[in-house]
Amino acid sequence: MSDIIQLLPDHVANQIAAGEVVQRPASVVKELLENAIDAQASHIKLLVKEAGKTRIQVIDDGIGMSVTDARLSFERHATSKIRKAEDLFQLDTKGFRGEALASIAAIAHVELKTKQAGDEVGTEIKIEGSEVSSQEVCVTPTGTSICVKNLFYNIPARRNFLKSNTVELRHIIDEFHRVAMVHPSIKFDMYHNDSEVFSLPVANHRQRIVHILGGKTNEKLVPIQEETDLVKISGFVGKPEFAKRSRGEQFFFVNNRFIKSAYLNHAVTSAFEGLCKEKTFPTYFVYLDVDPKSIDINIHPTKTEIKFDDEHSLYAMLRSTIKHSLGQFSVAPVLDFNKDASMETPYDFKNKEARVPTIEVDRNFNPFKDEKTRPTTNSSMGRTWHKEKKSSDWENLYVGLQADTSAIDQHKKSNDFSSVQFESTAITGSLFDEKKESDLSHNPTYQLKRKYIITTIKSGMVIINQHRAHQRILYEELLRNITMANAVSQQLIFPLKISLTTQEIELLQMVREQLEHTGFVFDAIVEEEVSISGIPTAITESEVSVLLEQLLGDLQNEVPDSGFSQTDFLAKSMAKSIAVRTGIVLEQEQQQHIVNSLFACTEPTITPDHKPTFTTITVDEIDKKF
């Protein structure tokens, strides 16, 4: 039998390696930014076109490379960071595998320009699919410029897996944040399609976070600081009242490297236990400095997962540090049995002088002196009472009492709730065949476990999931309002102001027209703040911030292209946020409204996410149980 095992060609091996390192344009951005930081750059520019699909360029003013280094940098496992295996546990740089540039060059067109400080001219290398097409001398500033064009040009299947430009740009910005947050001493600039997205000056960690997420973030941060023999902990956590419904603003950095750790995330979450609202997640920016020998970062190609020698001790220290900071800055309640709160001076009385009490006496007061009739109005009752001239006329107080009583009784009868008329929704669909039976309002409804609505039909009974049914009803209503632009708004007495980040403002501007068709009225959308004067009739003012936060979170994760798909996505997200939740007690009229409206929908059987809204149980199935 002939041999069947053979060595792969270099370009095939590089493409396989690229599948591990380069998953999308954001992966290229991460690798190039980390290389620029390792080159001791003080100013880094990131230029992106078409969300990185067409062009990604990183320009730095670092130390640059010689001619030989520039050529070797595109070879597999060529690195300046390690010489022997022991060096893997003493790393203080970003990259060390020597696979990034080789993998990128295997699936794109790459142009490299670099020059060292002592050289008069630099080197320019052009590579297409792992093959060097040209290498020549060029004039370029000190540092390195790498331009990656036409990503996945030779792997069309991988290119087809890329999302829309908005989604891919979102991932690029996330990677840019992760690198910029941990290096505040470096100036960063980012441009997309020749327009500036970020310009981050040299600052400290707090200022860098505020520059990225907006000025309103400053008041939300609580500093944390602790240093032990095992770890040095620093950074910031968000105040519990600003906890979000998504995990977007959660960052761990170990030795200036962004990592993901569900174990450490649990330590932070447990420190906030009892402080945050249900189904909300705290914001945190935690920087950990540990001995490089105590961690292993060589367990994942993207280097976002690492192993710790003593995770349990690190968990306990991180949890206690955050708890201490929350208590120290009066964010968490503290019990102090040696302090008497009644002896403390309220803030309103601080720096105020003590006022000497005085006694005032009305010397002309005479309780036995006759008083003239003086009408006084009781505003709470809206009636006028009269004082009589003489006390001997007390009998007159009871004149007409019987008549007033009868009038009150008549008024009560007129306000009897049995005469109240409830607004009902027109029924356009039904489960029933007979005309007399088609009106569902004749069938009694029952709420089970505050989750299901049960009603009867001719063949048995229907069990409806109240949350899913309401979600389907709202989805079709919102979709109809957005497409026909005929929604009704409820005007607010005072405009509602909501603080958002710069990226959230951009997303909101993108779907502003569709939101206005659902009933929102925006007075102004300025930097980091939105003013809303009108909201849809289906929601309350307290639900607006939660709805927008959920909507923007969904948009950040998966933004569809413009057109009907975006409208559909918007209606789905809003319906999910507004729909009545499980555990809510519904009145009889509300139950009837959900039942009637559900079967008036064009597709009442499933939710927008294709989950069943109700199930039926026939009489025959019930009989089989007995």
Residue ranges per domain, the chain? 10-200, 205-328, 440-616
Token digits of residue 188 = 């960063």
In the DSSP assignment, the letter for residue 162 is -
pLDDT beneath 50, residues of the chain: 373-391, 425-430, 432-441, 562-563
Read off the amino acid at residue 253.
F
* Pairwise CA distance, residues 46 & 32, whole Å: 9
Three-class secondary structure of residue 6 per DSSP: coil
* Residue-level pLDDT at 377: 44
Q: Tokens standing for 330? A: 């009066």
pTM for this prediction: 0.67
CA angle 144, 149, 153 (to 5 degrees): 145
pLDDT of 301 reads 63
**Residue 452: strand pairing partners:** 448, 465
CATH architecture of 440-616: 2-Layer Sandwich (3.30)
Angle at the Cα of 129 (from 123 to 131), degrees rounded to 5?
50
Q: Cβ neighbours of residue 519 under 8 Å, at least 6 residues apart? A: 481, 487, 488, 489, 490, 534, 535, 536, 537, 538
The residue among 94, 97, 89, 91 whose CA lies nearest residue 39 is 94
pLDDT of the residue at 113: 93
pLDDT of residue 388: 44
Contact 44, 131 (CB under 8 A): no
**Interatomic CA distance for residues 66 and 89, integer angstroms:** 28
Q: How far apart are CA 36 and CA 227, in angstroms?
A: 30
Q: Is 152 left (phi over 0), alpha (psi -120 to 50) or beta?
A: left
Q: Determine the pLDDT at residue 284.
A: 92
Residue 478 confidence (pLDDT): 82
Q: What is the pLDDT of residue 433?
A: 45
Which residues, listed in sequence order, are joined to residue 123 by a DSSP beta bridge?
114, 137
**Ramachandran angles phi, psi of 606, nearest 5°:** -135, 160
The b/e string for 493-519 (b: 16+ C-beta within 10 A; e otherwise) is eeebeebbbbbbbbbbeebeebbbbbb
Contact call for residues 580 and 586 (beta carbons, < 8 A): yes
Dihedrals phi, psi of 89, to nearest 5 degrees = -105, 20
Q: Do domains 10-200 and 440-616 have the same CATH topology?
A: no
β-strands 187-192, 195-200 pairing: antiparallel
Task: Name the CATH code of domain 205-328 (choices 3.30.230.10, 3.40.50.1360, 3.30.2290.10, 3.40.1350.10).
Answer: 3.30.230.10
Q: How far apart are the first and last CA of the chain?
A: 69
Query: How far is residue 276 from each of residues 180, 213, 551, 605, measured CA to CA in Å?
Result: 28, 21, 20, 36
CATH class of segment(s) 10-200: alpha beta
Residues, the chain, total? 626
**The pair of three-digit structure tokens given for residue 10, joined into one six-digit string:** 């270099």
Cα–Cα separations (whole angstroms), residue 353 to 348, 349, 350, 356: 12, 8, 9, 10
Kindly state the tokens that stand for 98: 């020597």
